[in-house]
């Protein structure tokens, strides 16, 4: 299978085989898994992947690891061609998913404001006080 590059404003709901969709505005990409299983692969750009067009053909770096589907596929796409890598084991796929979730969650955490920290301290003190009184 060969993948063509298609720039879009928004990623369409139904994806076509052999197309890498890329929204620069929303910094996302999507494609159907190269193994043919039909799994929708979503990519965060530039956070985790780079998507480029080379003569209308898609190139994606680094490799795509499909950890959230039964196929556990692992591959590169270079100038539209799929370059297969060894599939992930179930344990490696689970570890990779946990790592990605933790990485994204840590980036989403916003520091608490002074008022939020004060309120959290008051709630914590009140909870300890109630526990000490057996309430």
Q: What is the domain partition of the chain in residue ranges?
A: 1-88, 89-135
Which residues contact residue 125 at a Cβ distance below 8 angstroms, ignoring those fewer than 6 apart?
Answer: none
pLDDT, position 67: 87
pLDDT, position 79: 97
8 Å CB contact between 75 and 84? yes
pLDDT, position 16: 97
Please tell me the distance from the alpha carbon of residue 117 to that of residue 128, in angstroms, as a whole number: 17
Which residues in the chain show pLDDT less than 70?
104, 106-112
pLDDT, position 104: 67
pTM over 0.75: no
pLDDT, position 108: 59
């Amino acid at each position: 299978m060969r993948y063509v590059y298609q720039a879009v404003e928004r990623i369409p709901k139904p994806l076509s085989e052999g197309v890498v969709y890329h929204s620069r505005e929303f910094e996302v990409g999507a494609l159907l898994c190269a193994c043919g299983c039909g799994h929708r692969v979503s990519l965060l750009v530039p956070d985790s992947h780079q998507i480029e067009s080379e003569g209308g053909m898609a190139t994606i770096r680094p490799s795509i690891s499909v950890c959230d589907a039964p196929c556990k596929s692992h591959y590169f796409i270079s100038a539209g061609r799929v370059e297969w890598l060894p599939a992930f084991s179930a344990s490696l796929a689970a570890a990779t998913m946990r790592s990605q979730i933790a990485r994204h969650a840590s980036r989403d955490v916003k520091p608490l404001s002074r008022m939020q920290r004060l309120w959290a301290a008051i709630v914590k003190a009140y909870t300890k006080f109630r526990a000490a009184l057996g309430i």
